[in-house]
């Protein structure tokens, strides 16, 4: 099976080598859990491996993302060069519309040979729908459009809680090919970042809850370590 290495330290090991190619994964987590950082690093590592990527931002502007990621990952300082070389594209659609998002990704594949895509976040789109059923239907249609494209995507989904115990299943948990859950877990007087691969169709993977850190040079997932 073809796999796409995330390039994120520790995560590929948990995934038995990487995300199965052409699958569409949700990165699920509460506010500030690290969704944008993880997805951005996925594109960055891809660009360095020679796989161009497109970041479709539905919330933050391109400048915000470049600025925020520049301060989160100060040691990753060649993002602007990669953008000039079209190895990383960051786009903000005019409309909150999944069909338009799929169109943007398709266009980037044809024009720049994009292999990786990020959609941040689907929650913005979800909020534009009046009913859950309508959103679910549109999400299905969006996924079938994506499945026709030669790219492997991560979509962020905002959880209403950062707590693992209070986590409930959302629509995205059922329809996406894989789910990576990110948490901010309270431990005494501090919070620890942790992640787990809740599902990943087509591959064996770690089912452990493991701690991770956002460091200046990238995310580090501490495989084999315990959160408690």
Ligand X SMILES: Nc1ncnc2c1ncn2[C@@H]1O[C@H](COP(=O)(O)OP(=O)(O)OP(=O)(O)O)[C@@H](O)[C@H]1O
CA dihedral 45, 124, 174, 195 (to 10 degrees): 50
* DSSP 8-state class, residue 113: -
Is position 72 an interface residue for Mg ion (rule: CB under 5 A)? Answer: no
Report the sign of the C-alpha dihedral through residues 38, 43, 48, 51, in that order.
Answer: positive
Nearest Cα to Cα of residue 195 among 39, 1, 22: 39
What is the greatest pairwise CA distance in the chain? 51
Name which of 29 and 178 has its Cβ closer to ligand X: 29
User: Considering the complex, what minimum distance in angstroms separates the CB of residue 177 from Mg ion?
Assistant: 21
**CB closer to Mg ion, 89 vs 106:** 89
From 33, 65, 146, 167, residue interacting with ligand X (rule: CB under 6 A)? 33
Residue closer to ligand X (CB basis): 6 or 72: 72
Q: From the list 1, 50, 71, 131, which residue makes contact with ligand X (rule: CB under 6 A)?
A: 71
Residue 60 or 106 with smaller CB distance to ligand X: 60
x/- mask, ligand X, residues 72-111, rule CB under 6 A, reads x---------------------------------------
Measured CA to CA, the distance from residue 108 to residue 112 in angstroms comes to 5
Q: Report the alpha-carbon distance of residue 62 to residue 56 in Å, rounded.
A: 9
Rounded distance between C-alpha atoms, residue 123 and residue 187, angstroms: 28
User: Which C-beta is closer to Mg ion: that of 36 or that of 152?
Assistant: 36
Min dist CB 193 to ligand X, Å, is 9
Binding mask 1-40 for Mg ion (x = CB under 5 A): ----------------------------------xx----
Taking CA atoms, 50 is separated from 88, 144, 162, 205, 218, in Å, by 10, 26, 34, 25, 18
Q: Which residues bind ligand X (CB under 6 A)?
A: 29, 31-37, 71-72, 158, 214
Q: Which residues bind Mg ion (CB under 5 A)?
A: 35-36
């Amino acid at each position: 099976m073809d796999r796409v290495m995330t390039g994120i330290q520790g995560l590929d090991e948990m995934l038995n080598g990487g995300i199965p190619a052409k699958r569409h994964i949700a990165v699920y987590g509460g506010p500030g859990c690290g969704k944008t950082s993880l997805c951005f690093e996925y594109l960055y590592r891809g660009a360095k491996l020679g796989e161009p990527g497109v970041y479709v931002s539905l919330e933050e502007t391109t400048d915000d993302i470049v600025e925020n990621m520049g301060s989160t990952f100060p040691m990753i300082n060649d993002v602007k060069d990669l953008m000039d070389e079209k190895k990383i594209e960051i786009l903000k659609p005019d409309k909150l519309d999944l069909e338009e998002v799929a169109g943007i990704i398709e266009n980037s594949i044809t024009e720049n040979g994009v292999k990786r895509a990020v959609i941040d976040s689907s929650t913005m789109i979800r909020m534009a729908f009046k009913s859950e059923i309508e959103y679910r239907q549109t999400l299905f249609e969006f996924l079938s459009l994506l499945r026709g494209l030669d790219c492997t995507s991560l979509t962020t989904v905002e959880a209403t809680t950062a707590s693992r115990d209070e986590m409930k299943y959302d629509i995205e948990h059922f329809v996406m090919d894989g789910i990576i859950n990110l948490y901010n877990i309270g431990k005494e007087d501090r919070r620890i970042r942790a992640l787990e691969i809740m599902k990943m169709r087509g591959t064996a993977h770690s089912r452990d809850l493991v701690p991770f850190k956002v460091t200046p040079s990238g995310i580090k997932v501490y495989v084999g370590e315990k959160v408690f």
